[in-house]
Structures are given as structure tokens and as C-alpha cells.
Structure 1
Amino acid sequence: MFVRAYLRASTKEQDATRAKAALERFAKDNGLTIASTYIENESGAKDWASRPELRRLLDDCKAGDILLVEQVDRLSRLNADDWEALKAEIRDRKVKVVALDLPTSHQFTKVNGDDTTARIFDSINSMMLDMLAAMARKDYEDRKRRQEEGIAKAKAAGRYKGRPENTERNERIMRMFREGKTWSQIEKDTGASKSTLSRLKKKSEEGKD
């Protein structure tokens, strides 16, 4: 059994490694060693296949491995359908999710020879995991709604100016396009969204002789 730690933050401005010490302390307290750590800055609302480090973690997993996270919302803020797809992927790979904020999952760190007890805990944990994932999604949708309401109110009052352009980053992206770098290279190096890359690629082409 390998323990694979997953650390996620939504943006590059946030520290995705913030919870690393807590995960290492939990592993030590439970007699485990973290075999590898996967760190990324991606929205938890993106499906798992669009999160390269989560995808790499699952690809690396063998049956019986543990996917260790600080909180369930680090793994998922997905809608119901996408959450079911991620759960199916985890289930098919026979991976156990252990979250520090989900005590019922901690039993997966112990070897238990009682099949009946293990199945009962597995059922309880699955239910609790679904509940926390649903709460994480609701929190995401509530924050998004409040943000949209705030923007609409600011626009109505003539106060909304939008997000300031990151001119230094955008110039770098256009330069990378002109140098022939691939979309995936630029996206990985800069963290810019595909819509931003599309806009800047067009702009970079307009600047050619």
C-alpha cells in the first residue's frame, strides 16, 4: 500500500503546499509514509481529467493505495455528475480516499481482517464523503453567486472596472506564441486559461508583419 498525498489550491496566488505539514504529521501519527506528493493549482470544480496532477496520481495508483487529502474540498468541488465520474474512477482503481476532515476514512490506514466491519465502515465513509463533497460544491456555487451579484451591483452603480490586465504575463504569452511554443507548454508555464490563450494568440498573430 502506497500513500499518495494530493495538495491543491485554486490559483497560483494561493499556496498549494500549505497543508503539506499536516498531511505528513497525520501519516507519521498513523505509522505511514507518504510515497509521493502531487501539487497543483487548479479549480476543484474542474473535472478530474482536466487536473494533470490528480490524473497523474490516479494513473500511478495501484489497488489498495491511499489518496490522502487535507479536506474533501481539496479533492472535489464538482457537480453531482462529475463527482460520480471521479468516484467511479477511484473505485475502479480500488483506491481508498483518506481525508483529515473525514474521521470515518481514517480506518483505511489500518489493516482490518474483519470483512463485515470493513464493509460497514466503507459504506458509512462513502455516505460521509458524498455529503462533504456536496457541501463543498454548495460552498463553491454560493461564493460564485455572491461574486456575480457583487459584480452586477457594482456595474449598475458604475463602479465595476473588471480585473486589471496582467500586461507582463500577457506580453510573455504572446512572445511564447511567436517563438513557436505549444499551447500546453504555455498553459503550464503561465497558468493562463484557454480563453486567455486564444485571445492572446490572435493578438500575437495580428502583430506579425
Structure 2
Amino acid sequence: MAINRIYLRASTDEQDSNRERDNMLSFTTDKFDGAIITYTENYSGTKLQRPELAKLLDELQEGDRIIIEKVDRITRMTMDDWDKLKRVVKEKGAYIVSVDQPMTHQQADNPLMEVLTNFILDIGAAMSREWWETMKKRQRQGIEREQKADAERPDTEKKYKGKQPDVKLRSAIKGMLLDGAKQVEITAALKCSPKVIVAMRKELKEAGKL
């Protein structure tokens, strides 16, 4: 029997994450038969390479459903990467169900329905990527405006200080590295970027502590 594989890209807000998980479990139980497995991670939707998503795709079997709340939970990727993900799903004989898109709730049983379903998912993927790119552009523009304004202010009145390092997170990463933890274990425990872990490992090595 097909397995229902719920993919949750968790919010940083625990309450919102729990709400989404409960809603997804309720939807899946009411709509489909079969076992339910959940995959949850706090990772950028712009990346194809995500630990839990990779695990889901690796475990995927013919007839399985990948269930998402909406398309932007699984992708804000480039269309090339989105096509790669869809190709893996198709080769496995599985399909994607988006809760907010009723047309995706049933497995396509003819070529026309398959085309229409893919079209709906592709539109959602494109809109998701466009939204992310717009937000990043606005962020860059805001930073540039502040930096330009700061150039005319005295040092004591400067407002733009850039992104500040998370001292507590960096300390926790160093502690786990010193205890011998692996990168994947640190990422899972602290929900942090691998780049930060690499930087902290480099600092510890340069200080002769690793």
C-alpha cells in the first residue's frame, strides 16, 4: 500500500509549525489510506540539497504521495532544480499532493490530467521563486539605502550595522565540535547553516583546539 510522506519545512515559530503539522496529519488521515511518515526540517526552500528532503526522496516508493501544505513549502528553487526534483518523483512512480490545490489530490489517471496537475504545480513553483527573488531584491535595496544614508551620518548616529553574528549559536557549535559531534548532528540539533559550522571549525583549528 502507498505511503503518505508528509514534508514539513518548519517555521521558526514553534506554534505555527505545530499547527501546520496537525493540519497536515488531519488532511492526510481524512483523505488517504496507508501509513504516514513525516519529514520535518528548518532549511531554505531555495536549496535542492536538504537532509530530510533527500531522505524522503531516497525512501520514496512507487505509488507513494509526497504531501505538502502548499508548493512553497517544498520549493523556492530555480526552475532547473524544481525540474530535477520532479524527475526523481516521476522516476520513483510517486506524485506530489499540495493541500491547497485540490487538482493534485488524486493521482493523474490520464495524460491530460497529468499535464494539468504538473501545470498547477509549476505555476506554484514559479510564483514561489519569484516571491523569494522579489524579497531578496527589496532587502538589498533597503540595505543600499541605509548604507548610502549612513555615509552622511556621524559614526555615533549610524543606523545600519549589518547582520550581527549569533554569539550564543556560535558558542554552542564550538562546544559540540569540541565534544566530537559531526556536522550533520550539529545541523540537526541547532538548525544552523553548514557554513557557520565550517567557519567555527576553522576558528577552533586556527586556535589549536581541534
TM, length-normalised to structure 1: 0.85
Q: Counterpart in 2 of 1:80?
A: 79
In the alignment, is residue 131 of structure 1 matched against residue 123 of structure 2? yes
* Aligned-pair CA distance for 1:196: 1.7
Q: CA, structure 1 residues 180+28, in 2 after alignment: closer, same or farther (shift >3 Å)?
A: closer
Secondary structure, in 3 states, of the residue corresponding to 1:187?
helix
- Which residue of 2 is the match for residue 189 of structure 1? 189
State the alpha-carbon separation in 2 of the partners of residues 148 and 82 from structure 1. 24
Q: Which residue of 2 aligns with 1:143?
A: 135
Q: 1:16 to 1:178 in 2, by over 3 A?
A: same
Contact preservation (8 Å) 1:7, 1:40: yes
Deviation at 1:71, TM superposition (A): 0.1
| Aligned residue in 2 for 1:40 | 41
CA RMSD of aligned residues (A): 2.1
Partner of 1:7: 8
Q: Aligned residue for 1:92?
A: 91
* SS of residue matched to 2:39: strand
Q: Which residue type is aligned with residue 40 of structure 2?
A: I
Q: Structure 1 residue 13: deviation in Å?
A: 5.1
> How many positions carry a matched residue from both structures?
199
Letter in structure 1 aligned against 2:134: D
Letter in 1 for 2:7: Y
User: Which residue identity lines up with residue 202 of structure 1 in the other structure?
Assistant: K
Segments ≥4 residues shifted beyond 4 Å: 11-15
How many Å separate the matches in 2 of 1:61 and 1:76? Answer: 18
Give the Cα separation in 1 of the matches to 2:174 and 2:146: 31
Identical-residue share of aligned pairs (%) = 32
Pick closer, same or farther for the CA change 1:8–1:17 going to 2, 3 Å.
farther
Structure 1 counterpart SS, 2:205: helix
User: Which blocks of at least 5 consecutive residues in structure 1 are unaligned?
Assistant: none
What's the counterpart of residue 154 of structure 2? none
Query: Cα distance 1:18–1:154, how it changes in 2: closer, same or farther (>3 A)?
Result: farther
Which stretch shows the higher mean deviation, 35-44 or 182-191? 182-191
Deviation string 1:48-89 (CA, Å, 9 cap, x unpaired) is xx2111111122221011111100111111101111111101
Q: Which secondary structure state, in structure 2, belongs to the residue aligned with residue 195 of structure 1?
A: helix
In 1, Cα distance between equivalents of 2:75 and 2:24: 17
**C-alpha distance 107-187 of structure 1, shift in aligned 2 (>3 A):** closer
Looking at structure 1, the residues matched to 55 and 95 of structure 2 have their Cα atoms a distance apart, in angstroms, of: 16
- Deviation at 1:186? 2.3
Q: Does 1:23 align with 2:39?
A: no
Q: Any unmatched runs of 5+ in structure 2?
A: 151-158
Residue 189 of structure 1 and its aligned partner are, at CA, apart by 2.2
Q: Distance in 1 between matches of 2:39 and 2:177?
A: 28
More deviation, 90-99/188-197: 188-197
